[in-house]
Amino acid sequence: MRIYLHIGLEQTGAARLQQILSDKRDQLATKGYLFPRALGPKNHTRLFMAVTDPDHVDPLRFNRGFMTPDKQSELFTDIQQALIRDVAEKQPQALILSAAQLGASLARRGEIERLKSLLAPLSDDIRVIAHIDEQARLLARHYAAQVLEGRNTSLALEMEMAGTSDWWDDALLDGHEIVPQNGQFQETQCPAFWLDYPRLQKEWETVFGPGSVKFRPYDEGLFYSEAATDEIRAMFEIEGSIGRALTESTPAQPSAAWLTRARQMNDLLLQVLKRSDRMIGRPLWGKFMAEMKVAGDPIAPGSLAPVSQGFSAANKVLLSAHPALTETCLTPDTPLPDWQEADPQKGFRATQYLRAFLWRIDKETRDAQQGKAKDIAALQNSGRPSPTPDRAPGQQGLSDAARKVMPPLAVTNYEKLQQSSFRPHNQIGTVDEEHLAEAYAPLSPRELPEGSTGTLIVGCMKNEAPYIVEWIAYHRAIGVDNFLIYTNDCSDGTSEILDRLQDMGIVQHRNNDKWKGNSPQQYALNQALKEPVLQNSDWIAHIDVDEFMNIRCGNGTLPDFFDRIGDATNVAMTWRLFGHNGVTRLEDSFVIDQFDTCAPKFCPKPHTVWGFKTMFRNIGAYEKISCHRPNKLIDAVKAKVKWVNGSGQDMTREAAEKGWRNSKKTIGYDLIQLNHYALRSAESYLVKRQRGRALHVDRSIGLNYWIRMDWSDCKDVTIKRNLTRMQAEYDSLMADDTLRNWHEKGVDWHRAKAAELHDMPEFEDLYQQALTIDLDATERVAYALALDMES
């Protein structure tokens, strides 16, 4: 007996074919084909649920009562015995099994092997069939389905992966830890790894044998017509007629605006689940999504053209290897401007919907806990089994220190990174970062044209007294002309330092204590647009006091840099994250001299490493300044806008309208980078942890932040070429007795605060934990990917 195993794929008409198979079950039986009911009347989801790894709890297992290993094991035995009985009774010449979840969810070799072991008593003659469509078209449909099931990340993930040489592994790196009660599932949160069709074929043929996998084209017009039975006959090699199918309308795709609403809502719902004991079942989640529906155009596959381009070469090989495939099936749609998330329309605010949904969530929680509480407790008490990798954990590269602190998911991520294109390294760029070159020459004073305020830094501060004068002196030494600084709720002398600098004609200081809205920083930036010093500036950069513009060309000044970038209007200054460099105590020493170990230049994961801040010409191209970049591009000025990366390379297409981080295509550090000293010393980190962040006032800075920010693998001393001229500027400023006095008071305040925190068990424990973490770059990436993004 031959087994035909139809594994989907998702969004390629599997449900339609299963409906026809169910309708034609009797005709199939007369031809010797068994389409069994025991695994499900249409979609054989019970087969899928029985073979996933115990820790791989998917939405079906969670909602149908098979989340614990013992219940899943019983399911495996039950359906295997049911199939054996069915086959023994009916004696078919062929068995048809169909579940799209098999192709779209079985990412681990062990799961496919478990499927084979379930089928082994029946036959070893197994054909695997999958329908495929051009990847961008399929991605657009699959993403829509994921969002309506609970996905909270946007298509920016897939757009960033476009062109990667190992899409399968890279996609799985972006899969979240599986926490069923918190709504976190691989199926909803992980990018579609299976769009890598050659890898899909390899994984399944490794288990079922060479030549066992056959790809067929997804033809929407055919599948939903009465001639769909012709495809079923071809798939399963059925001779003779089985009649015609009932015609159905092709599935309508949700609007892009609806998906934006749903994704934003999912983000809030997942936060609610994580931070409380609430639970939401699939039916209620689906109702929430439906209630936010809004009409409009769906996502255009042509806007995902970079994804299509990344797979084009592999698709040509597939066409020759699988005779059933057609060029139409794998030909991309006409390219369009790159995807940008749609406006949710009509002033949509997810928080308003959430408030209206909460009472229904609470009712659902009471009902769900009665049925699931025991199983959830069993999962939690078992410590949640760690994922089963495709190969035995090759921990020879994992340090003893990392092995002690990394959770199981981080260890699994480390394994995946070994062969991934996301593995960090320092082998890009042309700048010698490890050997200190001669000091830069002082920058000659310049007179600004009448009416111009030159190059302006807009900044926001809260309790940064020890660091302000160095930061001002440094940026004056490289050519910044003016500073507009907002402060809120300061108690360490920050406001007084800035007031004195204002009296000295160095900065303009604005008190922001009465900020309104969600963020003091955004309120300040909105107010800055009204300031003459900004309106009359030539270039604007919004950066923080722990960020230093490190110019790596010419004499290291802004005029040198501007000469290199020609007609560019926007510069994405990519972060280079600097760790604490073994400095534990808070010292009154220059930040740029104390800390010279950092993240490798090639480090696309986690997403914070390649974040950027923007320096931009003041040409009125954008209506708004946000934390990382200007936003709301004005159509009339759009043609004048040119974005470049830190190497001066054009990235306008990727960044003109959206985005705050670089990708593998747009990364560059050769001309400028933004040195980001997010931690400074370990004691400075303690003080920062205690006060929170200016932008995210409702988030604390815990150990997870340290893990993401304490990079010390690579050495970069390039900024130290500025020390001599910065020292001169610093000494000139500190010659003012009032300024110096306030600076010293600020340092004393921070030292006293650090001592106070050392005496508090919560903070002393955090301090000691942080100092015990010793990870290399790959280990740190693996750990960071395992952490919850809300830390």
pLDDT single digits (tens) 494-526: 999 999 999 999 999 999 999 998 889 999 999
At residue 596, the 3 state secondary structure works out as coil
Residue 330, preceding peptide bond in cis (omega within 30° of 0): no
Tens digits of per-residue pLDDT, 29-54?
Answer: 999 999 999 898 999 999 999 999 99
Short-list 375, 416, 489, CA closest to 174: 416
Short-list 575, 718, 570, CA closest to 648: 570
Distance CA 622, CA 640 (A): 11
pLDDT > 70 fraction of the chain, expressed in percent and rounded: 94
Residue 175's CB is within 10 A of a number of other CB atoms, namely 23
Distance CA 509, CA 495 (A): 8
What integer pLDDT is reported at residue 256 of this predicted model? Answer: 97
As a dihedral over the C-alpha atoms of residue 62, residue 67, residue 73, residue 75, rounded to 10 degrees, the angle is: -20
Distance CA 388, CA 111 (A): 9
What integer pLDDT is reported at residue 200 of this predicted model? Answer: 97
**Residue 541 CA neighbour count, 13 Å, CB half:** 25
| For residues 605-616, average pLDDT | 94
Residue 717 DSSP class: -
What integer pLDDT is reported at residue 181 of this predicted model? Answer: 84
Q: Are 531 and 506 in contact (CB under 8 A)?
A: no
The string over 582-608, giving b where at least 16 C-beta atoms fall within 10 Å of a residue's C-beta and e elsewhere, is: ebeebbeebbbebbbbbbbbbbbbbbb
DSSP string for 444-511: PP-PPPTT---EEEEEEESS-GGGHHHHHHHHHHHT--EEEEEE-S--SSHHHHHHHHHHTTS-EEEE
What integer pLDDT is reported at residue 379 of this predicted model? Answer: 62
Residue 214's CB is within 10 A of a number of other CB atoms, namely 16
Q: Is the per-residue pLDDT at 763 higher than 60?
A: yes
**Residue 415 CA neighbour count, 13 Å, CB half:** 19
For all residues of the chain together, what is the average pLDDT? 92
Q: Is the per-residue pLDDT at 703 higher than 90?
A: no
Q: Give the position of tokens 């790809």.
A: 215
CA-based torsion, 109, 114, 120, 125: positive or negative: negative
pLDDT band for position 386 (50/70/90)?
A: very low
Residue 169's CB is within 10 A of a number of other CB atoms, namely 22
What integer pLDDT is reported at residue 697 of this predicted model? Answer: 34
Range in 84-88, 120-124, 415-419, 680-684 with the lowest mean pLDDT: 415-419
The alpha carbons of the chain give a radius of gyration, in whole angstroms, of 29
How many H helices and E strands in the chain?
Answer: 34, 18
Q: Are 758 and 767 in contact (CB under 8 A)?
A: yes
Q: Is the per-residue pLDDT at 701 higher than 60?
A: no
CA of 117: how far to CAs of 77, 78, 127, 389, 390, in Å? 11, 14, 15, 18, 16
Distance CA 443, CA 474 (A): 11
CA of 406: how far to CAs of 141, 398, 704, in Å? 36, 10, 12
What integer pLDDT is reported at residue 378 of this predicted model? Answer: 67
What integer pLDDT is reported at residue 736 of this predicted model? Answer: 98
Q: What residue segments make up the domains of the chain, in order of their start?
A: 2-149+195-257+306-329, 455-786
Tens digits of per-residue pLDDT, 132-183?
Answer: 999 999 999 999 999 999 999 999 889 988 887 789 988 988 766 788 888 8
Tens digits of per-residue pLDDT, 249-308?
Answer: 999 999 999 999 999 999 999 999 988 888 888 899 999 999 999 999 999 999 999 999
Distance CA 574, CA 123 (A): 57
Distance CA 332, CA 135 (A): 8
Q: Is the per-residue pLDDT at 212 higher than 50?
A: yes
User: How buried is 763 (Cβ within 10 angstroms: 0-12 exposed, 13-18 middle, 19+ buried)?
Assistant: middle
Residue 432 DSSP class: -
pLDDT band for position 692 (50/70/90)?
A: low
What integer pLDDT is reported at residue 374 of this predicted model? Answer: 67
CATH of 2-149+195-257+306-329, one of 1.10.10, 3.40.1620, 3.80.30, 3.40.50: 3.40.50
Q: Which residue has the higher pLDDT, 29 or 788?
A: 29
Q: Give the position of tokens 């996905």.
A: 151
| For residues 624-636, average pLDDT | 94
Q: Which residue has the higher pLDDT, 633 or 422?
A: 633
Contacts of 252 (CB under 8 A, 6+ apart): none
Distance CA 182, CA 379 (A): 13
Short-list 474, 423, 480, CA closest to 448: 480
Backbone phi, psi, residue 215, to 5° = -95, 140
Tens digits of per-residue pLDDT, 61-94?
Answer: 998 999 899 999 999 999 999 999 999 999 999 9
Residue 117 in tokens: 């072991």
As a dihedral over the C-alpha atoms of residue 429, residue 430, residue 434, residue 438, rounded to 10 degrees, the angle is: -140
Phi-psi region of 455 (alpha: psi -120 to 50; beta: other; left: phi over 0): beta
Q: Give the position of tokens 């098979």.
A: 66
Q: Are 715 and 434 in contact (CB under 8 A)?
A: yes
Short-list 367, 12, 435, CA closest to 216: 12
pTM, full prediction = 0.71
Q: Are 97 and 44 in contact (CB under 8 A)?
A: yes
What integer pLDDT is reported at residue 373 of this predicted model? Answer: 62
Helix %, strand %, coil % for the chain, to 5?
45, 10, 40
| For residues 458-481, average pLDDT | 97
pLDDT band for position 381 (50/70/90)?
A: low
At residue 197, the 3 state secondary structure works out as helix
Short-list 554, 563, 552, CA closest to 443: 554
DSSP string for 272-324: HHHTSS----HHHHHHHHHHT--------GGGGHHHHHHHHHHHHHHHHH-TT
At residue 150, the 3 state secondary structure works out as coil
Tens digits of per-residue pLDDT, 321-369?
Answer: 999 999 999 999 999 998 999 999 999 999 999 999 999 999 888 876 6
Residue 251's CB is within 10 A of a number of other CB atoms, namely 13
Q: Is the per-residue pLDDT at 384 higher than 50?
A: no
